Amino acid sequence: MKTLWTCFLFAVIAICAGAPENQLPCDLRETSHGSVCVCNSTYCDYLEQPQLTDSSQIVVISSSKDGLRFKKTTGYITDGKPLTVEDKQFTDENFMAEAIVVDQQRAWLQLANIPQRLFINASTKTFRISVKREQRYQNVSIFGGAFTGTVSHLIKQLPEDLQVHVYKSYYHPDGIAYNTVRMSIGGSDFDMEPWAYNEWPRNDPQLSNFTSLDPRDLQKIEQLNRLKTVGQLDELKIMGAAWSAPPWMKSNDRWTGFGQLKSEYYQTWALYHLKFLELMRAKNMPIWAISTGNEPLNGVIGFFFVHFMSMGWTPWQQAIWLNDNLGPTIRNSGESKVLIFGNDDQRYTYPSWFRKMRSSRNNSLSFLDGLAVHWYWDELVGPQLIDQAHTEMPKKMILNTESCIGDKPWQTHGPELGSWQRGESYMRAYTQDLRHNFNGWLDWNLVLDEQGGPNYVKNYVDAPIIVNATSRGEIYKQPIFYAIGHFSKFLPPQSVRIETEIESQRNTFTQLSVVGFQRPDGSVALIIYNGQNLPVDVALNDSQRGAINLRLPPRSWHTVLYK
């Protein structure tokens, strides 16, 4: 409650002092699993892009389990003092008790009944992080989420002012500065029902009835135009993917289950994609990239537990379709500049999926501009598989194209309002992937309701922003939203990853991670995550700036900016 009131007071002061509305702090509310930031029609938290006014300035933006959300701390490199990010827990007497109870890995400290003093000593350990600007890796340029049928449906129900807050929170520079959306070609699992173009007439290879977009697309286009205006975007990148062809094109004549595209419709399915691209361009909403299809393995091996729209491909068949149909159809059309991404499925299929494609059609991979990965089973296999794919195809972009929490049997199927842990899962995943050649990340649904839907097969999951579909008067920004924002907001297109290394990671209990970038204006952005229930001291050694010392609170993450 204390935090809530402090925040509320801040808000009032900010309004009274005439603070610009793009600088309002989070209106923190304690909920079932932690704290969320509440927005309503008249109030929503934003942060203007921090400017580094002189070359010795350092700006740290922080979020923490204890309630910091994009808190800005400013200091100077030259004054030698460590820059301390203040958080409630530093001064809170309850901190030690809470730390011991919450952190299972350290529970032995409590059992062993070790005096607090010793525990505190352990907390002030210093981690050395070297930052080598000369060692440069991939560019990072794409951040976004999915504008599914569900998202479109939920946003339409909100009052106009709240719609603006959703768009601005995600796409405006004062929000988290996304620049891309993913959308389905036809329906997806997050829709009110399965659907595709030209469902009727059946057995119609010329797609005679696919002459205009669906009303659901027109609604999305109207919303995306609004999103572009609110976000002040010159260009909105749109990535399209199809979940399933209309049933008549498929071997099982169904939306889901074990079913593949009938080979007599390979060219029809390529034409279907081209028509979608042309119709979207005609509405002044051109598509930037498409994939070869969402999660192809769902219709081959995943059909036991996947009950939503899917269409199966083996890599060998898909190589034939890409090489003989989709690739040439797109490249020889007015849409030839549209990028094509392959796979669009889980990490464990890398890199063998592409090797199998090559074995089936040796030129098929030349039609691919990029590789698309979904994060759902990342725990099963390491990022080395992505590194291998990158080594074999170094020129191709790599994007994560889908992520959410709540799909696994052992997880809550739906939102956990305020869950810091879920935010931390995102923090660890983004950090890991961006340290392994990824050029960006597209999250799944931009918004969901309190249940994690609506979804026509009850496949409920979490999202970075949850809308109150009951009152339609509030939206809740989850810790996940800020986890993503610590990357997307501070990494403008053409930021390049630079070498960062933690030099003193001695014991396995330590949960500290870092990934660093040089931004187009030359400044450095480091994203540092402290997963411990203890504060840490961080001694940065930048190859051009020398020493920079920070003291960071427990269970927190930070974006550190300096020139």
Ligand X SMILES: *[C@@H]1O[C@H](CO)[C@@H](O)[C@H](O)[C@H]1NC(C)=O
Binding site for ligand X (CB under 6 A): 11, 27, 40, 42-43, 117-118, 121, 130, 138-139, 199-201, 209, 362, 395, 397, 439, 450, 468, 470-471, 494, 541, 543, 547
Asked if 334 contacts 286 with a C-beta cutoff of 8 angstroms, the reply is no
Total Cβ atoms within 10 A of residue 57: 18
The torsion of the CA quartet 25, 27, 30, 35, rounded to 10 degrees, works out to -40
CA-CA distance, 231 to 371, in Å (whole number)?
Answer: 27
CA–CA–CA angle 174, 178, 183 (5° rounding): 145
Q: How far is the CB of 443 from ligand X (least distance, A)?
A: 20
Choose between 22 and 468: whose C-beta lies nearer to ligand X.
468
Give min distance, CB of 200 to ligand X, in A. Answer: 3
CB of 470 to ligand X, least distance (A): 4
Is the CB of 133 or the CB of 307 nearer to ligand X? Answer: 133
* 244, amino acid identity: S
Comparison of 258 and 339: residue with beta carbon closer to ligand X: 339
**CA-CA distance, 522 to 559, in Å (whole number)?**
16
Pick the closer one to ligand X by CB: 253 or 379. Answer: 253
Q: How far is the CB of 43 from ligand X (least distance, A)?
A: 4
Residue 50 preceded by cis peptide, ω within 30 = no
Contact by Cβ (8 Å): 319, 354: no
Residue placing its CB nearer to ligand X in the complex, 94 or 470: 470
**Shortest Å distance, C-beta 189 to ligand X:** 20
Q: Which 3 state secondary structure label does DSSP give 439?
A: coil
The residue among 39 and 427 lying less far from ligand X, judged by its C-beta, is 39
Our CB check for ligand X shows the closer of 212 and 352 to be 212
Q: Which is nearer to ligand X, 131 or 306 (CB)?
A: 131
- Residue placing its CB nearer to ligand X in the complex, 74 or 121: 121
200 or 410: CB nearest ligand X = 200
336 vs 471, which CB is nearer to ligand X? 471
Q: Edge to edge, what strands does the sheet with 34-40 contain?
A: 28-31, 34-40, 474-477, 465-467, 447-449
CB nearer to ligand X: give 238 or 371.
Answer: 371
283 vs 101: CA distance, rounded Å: 56
DSSP-assigned states of every residue in 176-190: T---EEEEESS--SS
Q: What is the DSSP string of 501-535?
A: EES---STT--EEEEEEE-TTS-EEEEEEE-SSS-
CB 530 within 8 A of CB 536: yes
Task: Give the SS3 label for residue 253.
Answer: coil
Q: What is the 3-state secondary structure (H, E, C) of 4-66?
A: HHHHHHHHHHHHHCCCCHHHCCCCEEEECCEEEEEEECCCCCCCCCCCCCCCCEEEEEEEECC
Those residues whose C-beta lies under 8 Å from the C-beta of residue 371, and which sit 6 or more positions away, are 341, 342, 343, 350, 354, 389, 393, 396, 397, 398, 399
Q: Taking the complex as a whole, how short is the minimal distance between the CB of residue 517 and ligand X, in angstroms?
A: 13
Strands 34-40 and 28-31: antiparallel
Least CB distance to ligand X at residue 303 (A): 26
SS3 labels along 126-145: EEEEEEEEEEEEEEECEEEE
The least distance separating ligand X from the CB of residue 79, rounded to whole angstroms, comes to 17
Residue among 52 and 496 whose Cβ is closer to ligand X: 496
In whole angstroms, how close is the CB of 433 to ligand X at the nearest point? 14
| Per-residue b or e along 300-339, where b marks 16 or more CB atoms closer than 10 Å to that residue's CB | bebbeebbbbbbbbbbebbbbbbbebbbebbeebebeebb
Residue 261 phi, psi dihedral angles, 5° rounding: -70, 130
Q: Give me 415's structure tokens.
A: 């939102």
Nearest to 181 by CA among 252, 251, 233: 233
Q: How far is 213 from 208, CA to CA, in rounded Å?
A: 13
